[in-house]
Structure 1
């Protein structure tokens, strides 16, 4: 949960909460402040078994921007289910905007001499396909961004797409929303790590983010029996539904606020919705 940017009063106990000393909770368009004594905490781990005890892979990209259809991958982390991890830099063949470099620290100089996009994207797509073939769960935090970007990169460079229909994606962002219905406020990876007790060593480093995302997924499964005990196939089905419901919530707010709406069917791969801009 994000700290409160302004002075307020705790929604639970009505104590004064100076700016920065509390947390924001609540769904889109209805945020409220709580003092630290009333910040929601994650439940304890259970003794149940489930997908979270299986070997899981994890993927994360650092990129040139926030548009998964147009921006480019500049670094990647492919964490295998048995410790066979691959990380690398990518020369995207385009400028890296200063705003993106400010986030992940990668510049044109850093990327000079790295493999070109075609080579890197080919290897990434092949790796993803091996997971689909093996039925291994792939953790991707905000999968609709990273996987949509991978699809766009494959299309851009003529690389064979993975069989997306067989990929067992675990998206902690979506599962967390399904559990809490957005009532805990903003859920960046860093905020989710804080809530679930996961240490993130270096945010916006692809490997560190991929490690943290997988650990958050495991903690969600371990602490919430209702999602931890289902099969990965069932979890994928649930995530599609939760993403759609989350989009409905966002879109109701977005239309009031004049913001861009989301495609409720856009998980784990987003599609453009020009008619709804």
Structure 2
């Protein structure tokens, strides 16, 4: 049965890139892309209706303790990961290979806050001696897109909030497959609503997001300095999709 949040009409004319998209998400031991590790991962494919037509899921033993705070978010404890997870190097290699196959097939890959997931994956690849994705693309980041097309909308831009805004059902937030699929459907919903304002081809949209992400980081830097959250000489890194 088709999910009621899935896109209901094909997007052939307005946004060709949204006809068929890869989706990607990681759940991890923390938020430091250079030091934290993968716990779970999802790579899949959605068709033009937002239906899942391909999927792969991984549970890794990250080789380090999973902090209680992280476990409380995604539900995977150190004990569970050690008992049921696969070796981290195998998981990292397979996730990289799955994403590389999608890019080689010409599919854009959707990831919410893509610079986090792709950056952490790059560091994990280096850590485990896996050939990394070099300049992955085309990548579609619904967080960057939403800020670009609806810049002045008030409120948070977390995946659960943005999903609700676009009428996408997100069951099991902070579970890699649920987040990845919801992000893909949000991207398709943005294409349906704002496709006339976006580049029609995935490669052009990827390039546009590089500039948008940089500008958004500059604006966020100014705001954080103004409210005292950042020192005047600090900056928010706007490098995208790998920082």
What is the TM-score normalised by the length of structure 1? 0.76
Does 2:91 align with 1:126? no
Structure 2 alignment gaps of length 5 or more: 1-8, 48-52
After superposition, the C-alpha distances for 1:36-86 in whole angstroms (9 at most, x for unaligned) are xxxxxxxxx997432354211100111001111111110011113562210
Match of 1:16 in 2: none
- Pair 1:219–1:85, CA change in 2 (3 A): same
Which residues of 2 match residues 26-175 of structure 1 at below 5 A?
Answer: 48-81=13-46, 83-112=53-82, 113-165=84-136, 167-175=137-145
- Equivalent-residue separation in structure 2 for 1:227 and 1:163 (angstroms): 29
- Equivalent-residue separation in structure 2 for 1:162 and 1:81 (angstroms): 21
1:164 deviates by: 2.0
- Equivalent-residue separation in structure 2 for 1:95 and 1:224 (angstroms): 43
What is the root-mean-square deviation of aligned Cα atoms in Å? 1.9
Partner SS for 2:119: helix
- Pair 1:161–1:227, CA change in 2 (3 A): farther
1:254 deviates by: 2.4
Match of 2:241 in 1: 268
Which residues of 2 match residues 187-266 of structure 1 at below 5 A?
Answer: 187-228=157-198, 230-256=200-226, 257-259=228-230, 261-264=235-238, 266=239
Structure 1 alignment gaps of length 5 or more: 1-44, 271-277
- Runs of 4+ residues over 4 Å off in structure 1: 45-48
* Cα contact 1:46–1:224 (8 A) shared by 2: no
1:238 deviates by: 1.2
Partner SS for 1:66: coil
- Equivalent-residue separation in structure 2 for 1:162 and 1:194 (angstroms): 32
- Equivalent-residue separation in structure 2 for 1:222 and 1:229 (angstroms): 13
Of residues 47-56 and 58-67 in structure 1, the stretch that sits farther from structure 2 once superposed is 47-56
